[in-house]
Every structure is written in C-alpha cells, then in structure tokens.
Amino acid sequence: MSFSAAWIGRDAELEVLRASLLATAEGRGSAWALVGEAGVGKSELASRVAELADERDFVVSWGRAVETGGAPSLWPWTEVLRGLDLTRTDERTRRWLAPLLPELETDDASLASAPVEARFRLLDAVVRTLVAHAKARPLLVVVEDLHAGDPASLELLELAASATRNAGLMLVGTWRDDEERRASRALRRLSLGRFTRAEVAERVDEPSWVEPVMHATEGYPLLLAEVLRGLSRGELRVDDDRLVGVPRSVEATLRARLERLDPTVCRVVRTAAVWGRDIDVTRVSALAELEPPAVEAALSEAAEAAIVARVPQGWRFRHVLWRDAVLASGDPSWRRSLHERAATWLRARPEVRWSEVAHQLLAAGVRGERLAEAAVRAAGASMERFAHDDALRWWQHAVEASTDERARAERLVAWADTALRAGDLRGGRAMAARAAAIARELGDTPLFARAALAYGGEIVAAEVDATLIALLEEARDALGETEPALVALVLARLASALQPAPDPTLPFALAREAIERARALGDDDVLLQVFRSANAAFVDLAPPDERLACDREHATLAARRDDPVEMHRAWRRLHFDARELGDTGLARRAVEEVRACGERLGTPHFVWYGHALAAVDHAHRGDHDEVRRAQDDARRAADSARSDAAHLALSYQRVLWALRRGALDEAESELRGVAPTSRFGADFVRLLGASVGARRRLLQGAAPIVFPDAHDVVSRWISMGDRSEMHLFAELAFATEDAALAARVEEALLPYAAWHVSFGLYAMYAGGPVARDLALLAWTRGDVARAWTWSERAAAEAERAEARVEAAWIAVERARWASALGREDAAARARDARERAEDVGLLLGELGDLGGAERRTKSSAPASIAPAPSWSLVREGEVWRVTHDARSFVLADTKGTRWLARLAAAAGEELHVLDLASDTGEAAPGSRSDAGEVLDAKARRAYAARARALRERLEEAEERSDLGATERAQEELHALERELRAALGLGGRARRAGATVEKARVNVQRRLKDAIRRVAEQDVVLGKHLERSIRTGILCAYEPDGWSVTVR
C-alpha cells in the first residue's frame, strides 16, 4: 500500500473538480474553496487537481499564504504572478504590478498620490493579468492556506473569483474550517471531512486491520497516513485487534521521530522551523553554522523520516503541524535566541523584508524601540503595496513598543492616516486624538497640528464635527505665524470642516486666506493639499468665477507635477463651474481632460466620471442616444468601482435627464429607486418630485401639487446659500402655485441672474439659464411683463450657451405664455416650440391647444389642500398645555416655557434678550462692558469633549435602535455645534461679549433649548419646527414660516 493512495480518498470531490476543469477549458471558469481542519487533505486534493490540469495542458500557478507569519502582504499573489510568463504583458500593466514585483520597479508619480485608487488599480491589474493569460491558454491558480492570508489577499481573491465566469480561469483556495468565515462568498465550497469507516476500509489491505486503524485514527487523514506508513514499514503492528505502538497525537509522532534522528539532523530541522514551513538552505546554513551541503544532507535524512519533503522550490515541512511541533519541541530560551539571531541576519541582508524582521523580533520577545523601528519599516512596506490592513497591524506594534512619547505620537499620526485610507474613519480619528493629546502634553505645536490634520484627513460631506473644529482652532491659535505651511493647511481644513455652515462667509474667508498663504510659500505640494480642502469649503456655494480661477490654477499645478489624480479632480470640478458660467466650450474641454486622465489612471474609480460628464454634454445637445450610451458606460464603471456615491449621482442624473426630456413617468420611476443618504438628500428627492409636478402643470394643465412644508424646506436651503437647488425651488413655487414662495425664492435668486443652473458632482447634471427660473417665478407671482422679459433673456442666454434642450423648453414656456397673453405671434411661437421640441426629442405630448392648457392650469383647484400647520400654548394654572395635530400634553411653568410663550405670542417680531430676561427677573438692562471671549480656549475644549461624549452616546443609541435617545443626542449635538460656531468671529477668531447681555443671552438660550427639548420628547414634529423657527441671540424671535399659533 502506498502513502499517496492512503492520503487521497477524495473520489467524489475530485470528480466535481475534474468537471470544473473541463468547463474551464471551454471558457467557463469557476472558483472553489477547499475547507476542512488542519491535516484533512486539502493540499493533497489541490495537488491532484493540479496534476489533472497539467494533463489537459493548463498553465498552473501556485501561491501560498505563510501560516507562520512574517510574509509581505499580498505574498500569495506575488508567487502566483511569478509563476506566469509576464514578458508579453503591456507596459502599463507591468507598471501597475510593480508594487508586487520589485523586478518590474517603475517611477510613477500617480501611484503615491492616490493610495485608495492605486490599491484598486493594483488589484485590478492582477485580475486582468490572470484573465489575459486564461484567454491564451486555460489557467489554474491554486492559493493555499488562505486562513492565514492578509485582508488584501482575500480581497484580491474575491475580485479574481468574480472574473472567472466567462474566462478559462479556475481558482482553488484552501481554508481551515475554523477560519471558514473568511472564505469569500464568491467561491463555491467543498468541505472535506474525516474519512468514514468504508473509506478507511478501501485503503487497508487486511480487513482485520480496519477496526483497529479506525479506532486509533478516528479517520483523521494526517494520522491515518502515518499509521499506514508505520504498518507498511513494520514500525507498527496489529496485535489482538489493536494497534501497538501508535502515538496519541501528531505531535507525539513527531517527537518520537525526532528522537531517532542524528543530533546534527535534529539541529538543522529545529533551525529550519524558526524560519517557517518553507525551508531556505542559505538561511538555515547561516543560523545552524553549517555549510549548505551539510544542511542538504541533513534535510535528506529528515525527508526519509517523513518530516520534510522536497518540492520544486527546495524543501518544505510536510505539514505546518510538523513545523509547529518541531518548534515547540525545542528549549524556549534557545528558540527565542534563534529568532533574535534570525532578525539580525535578515536586517543585514541587502534587500530587507521588514515584515520578516519584525515578525522574528516579536517571536524572540524583543520589545522597545528596536521592535518599533522594524514595525514602522514593515508598515511602510505594506503601504507601498497598498495593503492598509496589514500596515495597521504593524503601526499598532510600533505604537505599543514605543518608549519615547514624541515618537509614539508621530506613529499614532501615521496609524491614523493609514486607518483613514483603509476606510476606518472612527479608528483613524481615535488614533489622531490620542496623538493630539500627547502632543499637547509635550507642548509640541507642529506635532499637534499634524495630529489635528490627521483627524480631519477624510472629508465627510455635510458633516460638521465639533471635535475636529476644536482641534483645528487650537492648532491655528497655537501656531500663530510659525510653521507657515502648517498654518495654511490648518486654515484650509478648518474652512472645509465648518461646512455646511448657516453662513458660509467664515469658511470662504478661511479658504481664501489659506490659498493666499500657500501661494506665498511657493510649495506645490502644500498648495495642492490646500486646494483639496479649500474646494470642499467652496463646494458649489462660492461664486463660480472665483471657483473657476481656483480650478484653473489647481489643474495647471497638477499638470506641472504630472499628477493625473489631481488633474482629474481639478477638471471635473472645473466642468461644472464652467457650466454655471455658461462657458460651454470650456466645459467640453473639461470633459475631454477628465476622460483622458481617467484613461491614463485606468481604474473605474476615475473612469466613470468621464462617461457621466459626457452624458451631461450630450444632454445639452439633445443627443439622447449618446446620453444613454454614456450613462450605461458610467454605470458599468461604477459597478466595477463598487461606489455607492457614484451610483447615487448617476441615479440623480437619470432623473434630471428624464425630466428634461419630458419623460415624466420615467422620472418618477427613477425617483422611486433613489435611496438618499442624508436629510438634504431626502429634501432633494422631494424637490425633484415637485419638478415632475411642475412639468405636468406646464404640459398637461395639471392641478397644483401639495407640499405642506415648502417654506421650511426652502428656508433651510436658502440659509446655506446653496444655489443648485434654487432651480428646483422655482419649479416648486410654480407647481404649488404659491406666489409668496415665488417672491421669496426670486429675491434669493436675483443676484445670480447671469449664471446657469448646476447641480455639480452631487447630481452630475447642469441645467439652463437662471433667467428661465426667474421668468417662472415672476409668472407664478402674476407679474406677466417681468416674466416675459426674463424669458427673453433666458432664450438668448440658452442660445449663446448652445443649451439646445433648455432652449426648447424656454420656447415651449414662452409659447404658452404668449397664448395666455393673447399675443398675435402666439400661433407662430407654438409652431416654433413644436419644431424645437421635435428637433431635440422632447416628449411634450400634444402642444396644439397651448392657450387652453394654460387656462386650465390657472383655473384648476389643487388636487388636495393641506391646512396650514398650527399649534397652541395655553396656561392652565401651574402648567402650560401644548396642542398640535390632535396631540396634547403639558409642560411645567418654567422660565423657558414662559419665554417660549412670549416669543410665540409675538410671532415674527424681534425681542431683545434683556427684555425677555427681565420678564422673569433673570436680568435687567445694564452695562454692556466687555466680558471677554464668548467661549475661551478652555471652554471650547470642554465643548469639544462634550461633543465627543454625545457622539459616543449617539452611536450606542443607534446600535440599540433607540430612536428616542438617538433623537435627543442628535438635537443636543446640533445645538452644541451651533454654540461653537456662534462663538467665532471673522477669521475664525473668538468673539467677545458684553457682560450683562451675554449672561442673559446664555441663560435665555439654554432655557429655551430645554423647553424645546421637552416639547420634542412629546412631539418630534413640533419640536423640530421650534428648533428651526426659534432664533436666539441678542435679538430673539419666533419665525413661524407658515405655521399658525395661539397663545393664551
């Protein structure tokens, strides 16, 4: 009986894999996970599959995760790639593979400038390389011991598995069953269990031996193989139906075998075990202090004892369990000494693998700066391979081993940066906060500033983080005019951290100051970083001509550095800024630049933008087939990029495009599939729905729509100065036939009359002239003459900007209004509108009865009328009764409740805070002397600490799905953030306050907030309304925004 025959016994599993090999040869690949306990035969089964593949003329390439640790990240895939012939691989792919294969080393600036995208590009290049080889000749890739694989290796396996379906590529990976949860769902599982009695019987020649062998091994394949080998060699025997001489375990078997070896052979084997499962004769020779031939001879003797085996690459322990048992059998102090000697030897090599050095030092029990330095180097090497998860582990070792506090803080900053790159926002910020605390204690201002910047390393849209703001302000104040580069970076990041701000004046001022400081430095790297943050502060709110100038400078600077990532970022912003200014030529150039950068970078993270921007341009021209083609390309790229943000932007683009074509049913259908990710996103979806209603009114004479909180929504957005939604506000006013709302929106929109509508990167769409919206608003107000004037201007501007679709819409609107006004040219305008609509493919229905449709529009009653929201506050002895929407509850008679009643009774009027406070004896008019800063530095830090505690409480409440606690934490956090912003003056410096007024302001604000909080605990809707409508400060007011209130 042979050892191999005893080991396999996997006929059913082998048949399944044989069938998959045949399918792969026909171009229908697959991916498999062989799962089972250690020693169950996973590797042997994979070897048999490889033999079958070789017989069928497959290319076979192997990789293996290092179970004993110390290998660089993505090491299994480095081995796989080295098993392939890469000589015919194109230069670009070879350049992208360079982080895995130093022999392909290249100098590509774009790799270092965008680590997240470069990581994806690396993984994608590996997958495309495998697929390219599989197209030329069927390819089998075997990756063993993936339970020990790093996260990047597993991510790459999942990407590769998804590419097997239509390629001649078959993947086989092996996992231990205790780590099966790490196996990708993209792989089909084959679970390997222990042998049954019947399977054991097939391997045993003598029937009477079956029961003794089964009893001794319990069907465990590794032990079964050893028993069968012992029986065949006469080392074991069966006596009275039982096996004699069988060790109790694999480890015991190994120890017994070692004891029979020559001492020199035993020393070589134990020295080899220090290095891992794979045996490098050179390394063993160095540590064992023997010549290589002597090591080879000793390994040959160990192979005779079935401890090691010869493999194509050299020598290897027959199983990792053998290696572990050999290592455990040695004296612990001798073992630690050998590990430390191994680390020293590795560090002296010309090409140092720092992950191995650090691993050996850890195994030797070495701590302190020696380990910290090696861990820092290992983390850096992992970052070069874009293996952020692996780098995080080494940064943790580096920080824990640090003995110098300044070095610890520096390493914490690096840890934070790596965590943010890996997508761990919470962990990264926690490390940065620790670094900031140490730097503050040390009095190291530059280090503190770097820690603050690391905390804000990830810009989260629509997030105002009080802790980040406090850290950046502290850094700014401490830096003063020292460290000018850090000052510029801190100011720029503070500007973006304050957005969205109720008043964007301060963020804009900080961003402008940061840019000027960075320009004065003449440092391109600093200026690029400043532009990234400053653009996040400007968003779509700063004047487009100012943004465009920054975009141009940004693009020029990036081109000078040959940085395609920054060029891509600058040109995609420039596209929408040019659209907003009506510069169609420049916008089209931007599309080409973005596409060129995307093609150069090559990953879907960048490619989808070019297709999406091309769709915007085609939509303006009315080339609907090209729009659809570009959107399909963008969607496929977004799928490959696995980007939820890209898919959301493309969803909004499809809705807006359907609206512009008059495909209203399609727009509504698309809207139902949109899942907004924020409150503002939810508003945006509702406003798009209102636009559908506006178009139905225009085209079909439909009744006005009902939008009960229209004024609240519009107020919220106008207060932020966001112009992109004002186009939707104009259509909302028209759709609701709300003249008061139209007047309010018109006032806000008038300063931007010369510009065009742009929804920016958020919704990937740009519209027509703002003048068209002003015409619609004037018409809604009943100012026909003004509407006609604005529409004339809009028509001329649309023609100038080559916005053919918007020009057609404007012609339709002017035709309707001409008919309603009884103009003599109404019929001619109707014909012109129809021709324009047909020319650009608008779906406008029957356009003949323009006047009738307009008359129906003006005379139709709303489909449903929602009464204005109302509430009341009535005193009943020692309590106040609050009533809203059939809900009634009581509040205690506190100062806050009385002040709330006073403001509600004077709805729309401003009351001085001293007048309010004097009503309850809280204060009387007095001195307005300087009381110092509204919030001093200590108070601001206290506010920041409270904000951190609130965020933790909020996260806990969300995890428990406790809606009440979540709402309360959110409300208090928002209030705290408003307090912090209120304490800032121009340039971000602290405000100062008058003593009496400030004391009254603080007390009134605090007590009113408490009263509103108690209202919200009983009635969330009314509580939110009061939070928005009660304005505190030196002048306080209740602005009901369409609500009616009764106070008695």
* Rounded Cα gap, residues 998 and 928, in angstroms: 9
pLDDT in the model for residue 577:
95
**Sequence spans of domains, the chain:** 3-191, 197-223+234-244, 254-325, 331-403, 603-859, 870-932+1006-1048
Which residues does 820 contact at the CB level (< 8 Å), separation at least 6?
A: 851, 854, 855, 858
**Is the full-model pTM beyond 0.85?**
no
Domains 3-191 and 870-932+1006-1048 share a fold: no
pLDDT in the model for residue 509:
95
According to DSSP, the β-strands at 879-884 and 887-892 are antiparallel
* Rounded Cα gap, residues 100 and 81, in angstroms: 9
* Domain 3-191 CATH class label: alpha beta
According to DSSP, the β-strands at 756-758 and 314-317 are unpaired
For 870-932+1006-1048, CATH number out of 3.30.450, 1.10.10, 2.40.50, 1.20.1740 equals 1.10.10
SS (H, E, C) 462-492: CCCCHHHHHHHHHHHHHHCCCCHHHHHHHHH
Q: Coil, strand or helix: which one is 680?
A: helix
Residue 387 corresponds to which amino acid?
A
* Rounded Cα gap, residues 58 and 52, in angstroms: 9
Tokens representing 32 are 């498999």
Q: What is the DSSP string of 280-338?
A: -HHHHHHHHT--HHHHHHHHHHHHHTTSEEEETTEEEESSHHHHHHHHHHS-HHHHHHH
Query: What is the rounded (10 degree) CA torsion for 535, 537, 540, 541?
Result: -140
Measure CA of the first residue to CA of the last residue in the chain; give whole Å: 101
Q: What is the DSSP secondary structure assignment for residue 460, as one 8-state letter?
A: -
Given a contact cutoff of 8 angstroms between Cβ atoms, the answer to whether 72 and 346 are in contact is: no
Point out the residues of the chain with pLDDT beneath 50.
1-8, 109-113, 846-866, 925-931, 984-989, 991-993
For 254-325, CATH number out of 1.10.10.10, 3.40.190.10, 2.40.50.150, 3.40.50.300 equals 1.10.10.10
SS (H, E, C) 796-832: HHHHHCCCHHHHHHHHHHHHHHHHHHCCCCHHHHHHH
Sheet of 314-317: strand order equals: 278-279, 314-317, 308-311
Q: Coil, strand or helix: which one is 238?
A: strand
Q: Coil, strand or helix: which one is 446?
A: helix
Which residues does 158 contact at the CB level (< 8 Å), separation at least 6?
A: 184, 186
pLDDT in the model for residue 936:
57
970 closest CA partner among 720, 715, 678: 678
Given a contact cutoff of 8 angstroms between Cβ atoms, the answer to whether 367 and 401 are in contact is: yes
For 603-859, CATH number out of 3.30.70.120, 1.25.40.10, 1.10.760.10, 3.40.50.1970 equals 1.25.40.10
Residue 34 forms beta bridges with which residues? Answer: 174, 190
